[in-house]
Amino acid sequence: MQNEGSERDVNAEIAYLRGLVAKLEARCVELDGLAHRDSLVPLPNRRGFLRQLELVIARLERYGDPAAVLFVDLDGLKMVNDSFGHCAGDSALIHVSALLVGGVRQSDCVGRLGGDEFGILLDHADESCAAETAARLVELVAGEEFLVDGTSIPLSIAIGMTMIEVGDTADAVLNRADRAMYQGKAAA
């Protein structure tokens, strides 16, 4: 008799612990999302983008598939913030992020690197494909109307591009793409 009661107690404890583990696993998934997703736009943040970039670098080293990174800078965000307020600036970031996501393949990764900067990871893309994508995105953002309180505000982006190479680190790739973006701005 006593054995039957202690067996029920053990089963109840096991059920309780399984429920607790499930709750902790769900919380870990939630915290991972908070650590790797941007709080304003529905994109990976810098940490999440770098994690994806590291996976692509590993795949490149193993299989040799070409890949590129585009470093995107939203021009004039300070002017939007100063003239129309930070809500308008946030709306501009949301608007541009949606255009970037809509302008690339579903398999590509768009992330917000911070402030007015975005990264785009183009997996299985050679240099000409990456350059074509960059040019198309510049035209897309410039061609889409952005309104704040009925006022049309022109938006534009500058993009730097780099190919991922064997032996690269995520930081090295991002730094090259960032430098390419600033070189492009200086040349314009």
> What is the set of active-site residues?
116
Of 104, 71, 36, residue with least CA distance to 172: 71
Contacts of 157 (CB under 8 A, 6+ apart): 72, 73, 74, 75, 96, 137, 138, 141, 142
Cα–Cα distance, 129 to 88 (Å, whole number)? 33
Tokens linked to 119? 């990264």
Cα–Cα distance, 141 to 164 (Å, whole number)? 25
Cα–Cα distance, 153 to 146 (Å, whole number)? 6
Q: What are the phi and psi torsion angles at 41 (to 5°)? A: -105, 150
DSSP string, 158-177: EEEEEE--TT--HHHHHHHH
